[in-house]
Structure 1
Amino acid sequence: MPLTKPNQELRRDLHGLASDLKWSAIELMRIAARLSQAGSEADAQAVIRICQVMQAGEDRLAGYGDEVGSGSIMRKPLP
């Protein structure tokens, strides 16, 4: 069964947000590497922990998008 337009938009939004988180985490990892090279290991480790949280969020959002695609999650029509 094809997705309704609202569900297509929801799926696209969820996958887009997951992609944004992935890109942000990659950029933060680059910053963490520079911090480490500059001798700020504690700061680098803090940024890496933030990246790990973001990556977990990315995985959840992508999973929700997949569930929308399979019909497990659906956007309710507005009243």
Structure 2
Amino acid sequence: MKINKTKLAVVSASVVGSASAMAADPLPSAAVAAMGQVSALADSLIALAWPITVTITLAIIGISLFKKFSKKSVS
């Protein structure tokens, strides 16, 4: 399948043009503030999840080791 060079040039020019137009238009301050709040919420949720993640990981490792050594002691 051949790609027409003029079609390719038009598509690439439109992509470059839309990217430069979006870069020239700054975001509204309300959008920047909202993204800051979402980022802060995500950071707090991640901070809350780490202790649970560590506890579950250590519990799984502990159970695995207990199973391994209990099987060795029985046989």
TM-score with structure 2 length normalisation?
0.41
Answer with 1 or 2: which has the greater Rg: 2
Normalising by structure 1, we get a TM-score of 0.39
Q: Which has the higher contact order (CA 8 A, sep 6+)?
A: 1
Q: Which has the higher helix share?
A: 2
